[in-house]
Structure 1
Amino acid sequence: MRRHVVLPLLLLCTASSAVIETIGTSIAVGMAAALTGFLASYQNIFYYFHECCRPEWINFNRTGLEEDLRNKLFGQHLASHIISKAVSGFMNNDNPKKPLVLSLHGWTGTGKNFASALIAENIYKEGMDSQFVHVFTAELHFPHVGQMDTYKTQLQQWIKGNVSSCAHSMFIFDEMDKMHPGLIDSIKPYLDYYEKIDGVSYRKAIFIFLSNAGGESIVETALDFWKAGKSREEIELKDLETPLALSVFNNKRSGLWHTSLIDKNLVDFFVPFLPLEYKHVLQCALAAMQAQGAKPDAGVADKVAQDMLYFPKAERVFSVKGCKTIESKWEYYT
């Protein structure tokens, strides 16, 4: 950003000295004031058109997040409530003691990536396209087990550099179940209760982990409630949080296997995403039509939802793939 400011400042100094030599101090002061005003206007224009780490571009919308989670994230009453409370509490705290760390778990297609996008869209004006939102995937960014030491160093440098530029940075780690277990421990100091590390404070950053690991324990709980004739809305965090944390901690494929992040209680919330039912898949189909500019058709949405795979096989209660393939399928039925 400074490279845009240096030139007007140099012009200011050059113009002032030249005027002093020719037409006197009073006019020079006037020129300096005029150029200073131009510089201020230039900066305001620059900030208006170019994303910066300023309130014009980073401004949390609590009401917007609550409405989006309620109206767009289908079948996830528990995840919606946890995310809303956690993000709102964190963003409204001017002096948090540590970064916000959320670990989102559940089977594919249940809304983990979508929920992350909703968080970003209600914090950053540019949403997921913001230069302050950083997404890492295991297979793309950390594909080779033999290069873990290099990856650890690069990841530390990347996080430090971006938080140094903007304290309100967000880091999303997708495919945590495919992540090498030792990799995430390398950023443990940045997630801890330190005021500063090497002069940099990480307390206003947000870290989100997305994983399929722990999905089995979530599904098991959901099935138990269904078999007992209970509504899924009766499932509470206490029913899932402890078994979920234990499942992730002891799962060698979780990316958080025996990690100090769990051992030291640095993950603020383990957020469970429940398996979706037919009615939720139906909602996804209707939303997909609307998102692509088509008129929502309940008949088409029903065909899409009916043709999805469900389990248990006889009762067809929960969707195997959630809503993952809905967007690519609904046009087939029109």
Structure 2
Amino acid sequence: MAAVRWSHPGTWLLFSLLVAPHIHVVVSLEPITTGFTIVAAMALTGYLSSEIYCGWLSECCQVNKPFDSTALEDDLTEKLFGQHLAHEMIYKSLTKFLSNENPRKPLALILYGRTGTGKNLVSKIITENVFDLGEKSKFVHLFVSTLHFPHDNLITTYKDQLQSWIRGNSSECARSIFIFDEMEKLHPGIIDAIKPFLDHSNNINGVSYRKAIFIFISNAGGDLISRMMPLIFNSGKCREDLKLKDVEDELYDDLYNNRNSGFWHSGLIEKNLIDYFVPFLPLEFRHVMKCVLAELRLRGLHKDERLAYRVAIEMTYVPKDTKLFSDKGCKTVAAKLDLIL
């Protein structure tokens, strides 16, 4: 065992408070050092409330923190545009899951559709409504396919590392959030490494995963959705009348049978371990306008409909004959706004 060194006077004071309460210790300390050391000692000895400790000194897991569904609804309404299906599904699924003290399995969501339609935004909204630090929380873990799993010849290694990472972080916080981005670029089969964690199990080797949240983000299905939308419009339905049942069968098959979806013949889909398939529809000009206005509000600028129109009209729209949908959704709105400003 390594020898203990008192490298800082505050360390000795902390030791004296916790381990040797009957020994009188007099140490000359700077006021600031004394303050922080005493606060830390109070936290560890129970004199400091968990609320102050978790909010000031450290981030705590807080698995049983009450969930504010109203705040989630407000965020989705104010920030997510043109996605009535995603809005409804995310609100209901997250509210139901986070209000359940004893869920049967982790929550698993697939967010899929064209780029720029709000998938990463929804992921951000979810993290911010679960943890005060949002995406910066140490309990939120983001995996990007091209960054974390770039080499096809290391699939076995990636699977082992992925399982180890999920196991270790779930043991630290049962409410951990795991986000997998760019699923369409992930080598088929890698994602099945997490299949045991998504099943209906009380625990695996002493670790419970039932309160964890898994979010899979993919651009797969975007082209199919874009092809389906005009057909739905031509049948007499407007966008807001669209129901999940109108599109889910074809989109489900596309994810499972498409080699470039990240879920090709995946056991996660085959064994019904994905709780919700959340489609994101292509955005129209009116939705891009709302994105511009939201960006202005985010920058602290006043509402300017004329400026929003100028930015929205600069975007490219497809298909060429009708120009119904924004080619990149709202993804380049901030850059276009910078150019015009």
Same fold (TM over 0.5): yes
Structure 1 position 111 matched with structure 2 position 138 = no
Structure 1 position 329 matched with structure 2 position 302 = no
What is the number of equivalent residue pairs in this alignment?
314
Task: Tell which deviates more after alignment, 62-71 or 6-15.
Answer: 6-15
CA distance in 2: counterparts of 1:7 and 1:188, whole angstroms: 48
CA distance in 2: counterparts of 1:14 and 1:173, whole angstroms: 48
CA distance in 2: counterparts of 1:47 and 1:37, whole angstroms: 10
> Structure 2 residue aligned with 1:187, among 191, 194, 210?
194
Structure 1 residue 307: Cα displacement: 1.7
Q: Which residue in 1 is equivalent to 2:252?
A: 245
Q: Which runs of 5+ in 2 are unaligned?
A: 1-9, 25-40
Structure 1 position 129 matched with structure 2 position 140 = no
> Structure 2 residue aligned with 1:158, among 158, 161, 165?
165
Q: Which runs of 5+ in 1 are unaligned?
A: 20-34
Q: CA 1:226–1:161 in structure 2 vs 1: closer, same or farther (change >3 Å)?
A: same
Structure 1 residue 258: Cα displacement: 0.3
Structure 1 position 295 matched with structure 2 position 293 = no
Q: Which residue in 1 is equivalent to 2:325?
A: 318
CA distance in 2: counterparts of 1:199 and 1:6, whole angstroms: 36
For residues 287-306 of structure 1, what are the alpha-carbon distances to aligned partners after superposition, in whole Å with 9 as ceiling and x for unaligned?
Answer: 11111222232111101111
Q: Which residue in 2 is equivalent to 1:74?
A: 81
CA distance in 1: counterparts of 2:78 and 2:176, whole angstroms: 26
> Structure 2 residue aligned with 1:169, among 173, 176, 182?
176
Q: Which residue in 1 is equivalent to 2:150?
A: 143
Q: CA 1:36–1:295 in structure 2 vs 1: closer, same or farther (change >3 Å)?
A: closer
Q: Which residue in 2 is equivalent to 1:31?
A: none
Q: Which residue in 2 is equivalent to 1:29?
A: none
CA RMSD of aligned residues (A): 2.2
> Structure 2 residue aligned with 1:209, among 183, 202, 216?
216
The answer as to whether partners of 1:59 and 1:124 remain within 8 angstroms in 2 is: no
Identity %: 49
> Structure 1 residue aligned with 2:236, among 225, 229, 233?
229
CA distance in 1: counterparts of 2:12 and 2:66, whole angstroms: 28
The answer as to whether partners of 2:293 and 2:308 remain within 8 angstroms in 1 is: yes
Q: Which residue in 2 is equivalent to 1:40?
A: 46
Task: Tell which deviates more after alignment, 290-299 or 100-109.
Answer: 290-299
CA distance in 1: counterparts of 2:165 and 2:152, whole angstroms: 19
Structure 1 position 61 matched with structure 2 position 68 = yes
Q: What amino acid sits opposite 2:261 in the alignment?
A: S
The answer as to whether partners of 1:110 and 1:274 remain within 8 angstroms in 2 is: yes
> Within 5 A, what are the aligned runs for 1:75-94?
75-94=82-101
Task: Tell which deviates more after alignment, 128-137 or 291-300.
Answer: 291-300
Q: What amino acid sits opposite 2:21 in the alignment?
A: A
CA distance in 2: counterparts of 1:141 and 1:311, whole angstroms: 33
CA distance in 1: counterparts of 2:55 and 2:221, whole angstroms: 44
The answer as to whether partners of 1:104 and 1:209 remain within 8 angstroms in 2 is: yes
Structure 1 residue 8: Cα displacement: 4.9
Structure 1 residue 225: Cα displacement: 1.7
CA distance in 2: counterparts of 1:5 and 1:203, whole angstroms: 38
The answer as to whether partners of 1:5 and 1:43 remain within 8 angstroms in 2 is: no
Task: Tell which deviates more after alignment, 113-122 or 311-320.
Answer: 311-320
CA distance in 1: counterparts of 2:116 and 2:325, whole angstroms: 12
TM-score (norm 2): 0.87
